[in-house]
Amino acid sequence: MNYKLQFSELLPHWDVLLWGLLFTVVLTVVSTVAGIAVGTAGASARTFGPKWLGNLVAAYVEVIRNTPFIVQLFFIFFGLPAAGLKLDESTAAFLAMTINLGAYSTEIIRAGIEAVPKGHIEAGISLAMTKWEVLRHIVLKQAFEKIYPALSSQIIIVMLGSAVVSQISAQDLTYAANLIASRNFRNFEVYLLVALAYLLLAMLTRSLLRGLGRILFKAK
Amino acid sequence: MFFKKSMLAAAFALAAAAQATPVHADALDSIMAAKVIKVAVPQDFAPFGSAGLDLKPQGYDIDMANLIGKALGVKVEIIAVTSANRIPYLQTKKADIVISSLGKNAEREKVIDFSAAYAPFFSGVFGTKDIKVASADELKGKTIGATRGAIEEQELTKLAPADTTIKRFEDNNATIAAFVSGQVDLIATGNTVAAAIAEKVPARAPALKFVIKESPCFIGLNKEEPKLLAKLNEIIAQAKTSGDIAKLSEKWLKAPLPPGF
């Protein structure tokens, strides 16, 4: 390989890269929490709620899971202003990621809920627990334990998919990479570095989630 | 087959020889003698030159060609060219002049001559009518969109004050979409892009706030044709004072000429 790697050319741009990294991390954390909340609500509504609500959730899930994320993002950022809702790029990014993760986690959590034996629910009701108590202590707790690995994978997928938000000028890690590349044309070094950053971020997130799983579900 | 080919070649050579002008006759003389001026224009670069709905060429450059033909009193033969072959066409005398949003640079200066500027082509800051930004310093605290890596984005990064929010999009279309959808009310782009937006979305027509970099268009002609060059410059100067060029600018670029043009 004749090309000489010049990583030193990236050094002056350390602030853009760091800000991008921070933005990606915060975006992932916030939209993960919100997305799982949406997913939990959706899955519960679909399994236990009234039929009309279940159909609404089903429609939402089908639309989001069968369209590309970038199209959803562009719709929110470029399309909604025509309908009167103008969001800045960070809010649009967070919203798009939440809606996206919400749809996928709805299905994942619903699988977990349906795997909880009906007998457990009946036992809970016969012990005079309210519907919400049954949902919270019996159903969701067991559901999450079952589907935790699948959910962790989906979180990583969404985190890596956050790279797309650079397309609407949200200043994440990929935006930083693109900007630096357009200044010094060191595409090889920039994208190598940023790919490594994403790799480390994904590995870190995975081990954090594994640790969290161990604490929550007492090491299975 | 070979006989036919060599006959064809001989025929062409004869025709070329018959058209050969005596040494050092200026192109202007041969144009006036033939009563035809051959002008190379773009066919794929609106609003300077593109095919209209009737597939006839139309645009700023074509109008300019007709203006020159009228001023010289000769017929205009429009030859459609691309960015790649416009200068070769000129050099091989397939065209007398090139009117094709040609920008001046050192490499081109070595092989052809340029007339005075006949069309403004510049990158600048454009925005909605109500925003008042007369210079780079007044961008303080404002949000402006630009296409990452483009000349105007690089200049803007140098010129804009530190607390300006520059939203960089990956390509021209995203920047345009951001302006049209109202995500940004100011953009840095070329004046032809602004004209295209003004035509497609009149409600969000971008108005020029200030110019970032001038790169006007010049007419290209072969070297060592001083009479033709002088005549072209005369026609252009005349068109500027009479307001014809301003009319072209309004018609095709949907904007008045920038000050000092």
Q: Name the residue facing A78 among B149, B170, B181 (closest C-beta).
A: B181
Chain A residues touching B168 at Cβ < 8 A: 169, 175, 178-179
Q: What is the CATH number of the domain that holds A116?
A: 1.10.3720.10
Q: What is the overall mean pLDDT for chain B?
A: 86
Instruction: Examine the domain organization and report whether B53 and B180 are in the same domain.
Output: no
Query: Whole-angstrom Cα distance, residue A96 to residue A26?
Result: 15
- List beta partners, residue B220: B98, B114
pLDDT reading at A88 higher than 80: yes
Q: Which tens digit of pLDDT belongs to each residue from B18-73? A: 555 445 578 899 999 999 999 999 887 768 888 888 888 889 999 999 999 999 99
Coil, strand or helix: which one is B222? strand
- Chain B residues with CB inside 8 Å of A185's CB? none
Write out pLDDT tens, residues B46-59. Answer: 688 888 888 888 89
Q: Which domain holds residue B103?
A: 16-121+216-253
Residue B2 lies in a domain: no
CB contact under 8 A, A78 and B177: yes
Q: pLDDT digit string (tens) for A140-170?
A: 999 999 999 999 999 999 999 999 999 999 9
Q: Within an 8 Å CB–CB cutoff, is residue B183 touching chain A?
A: yes
* Closest chain A residue by Cα to residue B171: A167
B168 CB near a chain A CB, below 8 Å?
Answer: yes
Contacts of B54 (CB under 8 A, 6+ apart): none
Between A and B, how many CB-CB pairs are < 8 A? 38
The answer to whether B182 contacts A182, with C-beta atoms less than 8 Å apart, is no
Same domain, B108 and B223: yes
- Identify whether the C-beta of residue B42 lies closer than 8 Å to the C-beta of residue B84: no
Q: Does A77 touch chain B (CB under 8 A)?
A: yes
Summarize the confidence of residues B75-86 as an average pLDDT. 86
Confidence of residue A12 (pLDDT cuts 50, 70, 90): confident
Contact check, Cβ <8 Å, B183/A179? no
* pLDDT score of A2: 65
We report the CATH number of the domain holding residue B147 as: 3.40.190.10
Q: Do residue B76 and residue B163 come from a single domain?
A: no
> What is residue B24's predicted lDDT score, i.e. its pLDDT?
58
Across the interface, of A74, A89, A178, the residue whose CB is closest to B167 is A89
A177: chain B residues, CB-CB within 8 Å:
none
Contact criterion met (CB below 8 Å) for A83 and A20: no
- Cβ contacts (< 8 Å) between B167 and chain A: which residues? 89, 169
Does residue B181 sit in helix, strand or coil?
Answer: helix
Give yes or no: residues B84 and B147 share one domain.
no
Whether residue B161 sits in one domain with residue B52: no
Domain assignment of residue B261, yes or no: no
Q: Is the pLDDT of residue A3 over 80?
A: no
A199, part of any domain: yes
Highest mean pLDDT among A33-42, B100-109, B155-164, B197-206: A33-42
Q: State whether B226 and B189 are in the same domain.
A: no
> pLDDT for B175-194, tens place per residue?
888 999 999 999 998 888 88
Please give the average per-residue pLDDT across B147-159, as a whole number. 84
CA-CA distance, B6 to A160, in Å (whole number)?
A: 66
A108 closest CA partner among A143, A156, A63, A76: A143
Same domain, B82 and B164: no
- Residue A147 within any structural domain of the chain: yes
